[in-house]
Amino acid sequence: MDLLDKFRDKNLVLNVIKNSNKLLDDIGQVNFMEVCGTHTVEIFKFGIKKLFNNNLNLISGPGCPVCVTGNRYLDTAIALSRRKDVIITTFGDMMRVPGSTSSLIEERSAGAEIKVLYSARDSLKIASDNPDKKVVFLGVGFETTAPTIASTVKLAEAQNINNFYVLTAHKTMPNAMAAILASEKVKINGFICPGHVSTITGIHIYDFIPEQFSVPCVVSGFEPLDIVQSIYSLCKQLYKNIAIVENTYSRVVRENGNQIAQQILVEVFEESDEDWRGIGIIPGSGLKFCEEYSRFDAFLQIPVDVEETIEPEGCRCGEVLRGIITPLECPLFKNGCSIDHPIGACMVSSEGTCAAYFKYHIEERT
């Protein structure tokens, strides 16, 4: 029996849903936001939304790092790629994200040196092999990937590699969740918290949400049983009129997280204000290089002229990311914007809400 088989057991899943629906009958209408883009994809992939009664509304949140990266950052990366002395290295999901007037894949077609990597550390070999070039890695991601970038920077320092840089767009999740709650544009009754992030941070980064907003949080894994169990746990909290942080992903997430990863983040980065697509500047929601490692900061060390930032006309990605609308309410969805021809960032990433709606043929309007 495969280790994960029990987490996809139909009878177990349906039993948890049955118990959840009983609670939902008593609780009434609720809005739960799954913060992580992987949760969104899995919910659609397994048809989980359709198995609960109409009192449950699952809302997709700003948990796709590619999606929430603003056009200004993309335009800066594109401007850097046009320099003859620069090699851009990046994860593949950044290639097709539209900037104001171009994308990285278009720039590569026009002759820019842009290399897709599976690991940030692969950039160091490229930097060593090209000492006459500045190698710039696009550091996009949440607390999950930021420690790997920090360790790469420390390795570059140890190996005395002086032509390696990072263009940072690292974001941290808690303050974004707080910003959504504070905006009151959408009533959130519970959060399905990201398992990936929580593996690094532990569960206490969410404590302020039940304490300040009286909104329950449950850290969830990504298999069907994980997700429905997290929904059931949120329902139980609401039924009992309590709000705490629960961990239903204890096989992976520890209460205090990965303290080695946390330490390396503190050594290399410091808290910063960060721009989120569709939300704006959220204080304390980003990570920038601390002074000791500022020589690796591409923003500081390789200044470029960046074109005026332009948002695609009609695109409502920002509202999708905040849970205000579903992709079906965007006028561009399947009307010029598709997985093959994305206009907005939410259609590009495999974790994007628009891409999930498109791929799994979600048609009902809510």
CATH number of the domain encompassing residue 89: 3.40.50.11740
Query: Could you tell me the pTM of the whole model?
Result: 0.92
Tell me if 195 is assigned to some domain: no
Tell me if 141 is assigned to some domain: yes
Where do the DSSP E strands lie in the chain?
30-34, 56-60, 86-90, 114-116, 134-141, 164-171, 190-194, 217-220, 245-247, 269-276, 280-289
pLDDT digits (tens, 9 = 90+) for 259-280: 999 999 999 999 999 999 888 9
Classified as helix, coil or strand, 56 is strand
Tell me if 116 is assigned to some domain: yes
**Average pLDDT rounded to a whole number, residues 11-31:** 96
Q: Has residue 1 got a pLDDT over 60?
A: no
Tell me if 197 is assigned to some domain: no
Which one of 1-5, 277-281, 296-300 scores highest in mean pLDDT?
296-300
pLDDT digits (tens, 9 = 90+) for 119-135: 999 999 999 999 999 99
- The pLDDT of residue 279 is 86
Four-residue CA torsion sign, 144, 148, 149, 154: positive
Tell me if 93 is assigned to some domain: yes
- The pLDDT of residue 350 is 84
Percent share of the chain, pLDDT over 90: 90
* DSSP state string for 169-208: EEE-HHHHHHHHHHH-SS---EEEEEHHHHHHH-SGGGTH
Tally of domains in the chain: 1
- The pLDDT of residue 363 is 65
Q: Which domain holds residue 153?
A: 71-172+257-301
For residue 99, give the amino acid letter: G
Q: Has residue 184 got a pLDDT over 90?
A: no
Tell me if 178 is assigned to some domain: no
Tell me if 318 is assigned to some domain: no
Tell me if 315 is assigned to some domain: no
pLDDT digits (tens, 9 = 90+) for 205-249: 999 999 999 999 999 999 999 999 999 999 999 999 999 999 999
